[in-house]
Amino acid sequence: DAMVIQNPRYQVTQFGKPVTLSCSQTLNHNVMYWYQQKSSQAPKLLFHYYDKDFNNEADTPDNFQSRRPNTSFCFLDIRSPGLGDAAMYLCATSRGQGEQPQHFGDGTRLSIL
């Protein structure tokens, strides 16, 4: 089945230690998104790639970066995680810019020690 896969499902890192979350997709979609979701909150868009074009949301902290080396993979890098960055991180894809629905992975739960 075509799908969006996130690895790892659970990630623990130390305060200030860089961490990378991974997302891959077999849907061959052009757009890949990263969301942050804190407990009992709405998923919040951090940034997205439309093909190779990177689009950062205005309020996404500089601490968060992303890379998309090819169509299938997208990475979320947190350069110096703080306690406030503990959250569920969701990757999603869509066929084209603004096309719906978006298809989500199962998320990576990030904990900061």
Partner 1 sequence: DQQVKQNSPSLSVQEGRISILNCDYTNSMFDYFLWYKKYPAEGPTFLISISSIKDKNEDGRFTVFLNKSAKHLSLHIVPSQPGDSAVYFCAASARYGGSQGNLIFGKGTKLSVKP
Is the Cβ of residue 15 or residue 54 nearer to partner 1 in the bound state? 54
Chain mean position to CA 44: 10
In sequence order, the β-bridge partners of residue 91 are: 34
Min dist. Cβ of residue 16 to partner 1 (A):
28
100 vs 20: CA distance, rounded Å: 27
Min dist. Cβ of residue 98 to partner 1 (A):
2
Site of interaction with partner 1 (CB under 8 A): 4, 6, 33, 40-45, 48, 50, 55, 90, 92, 97-107
Q: Report whether 7 contacts 22 (CB < 8 A).
A: yes
Is the Cβ of residue 70 or residue 100 nearer to partner 1 in the bound state? 100
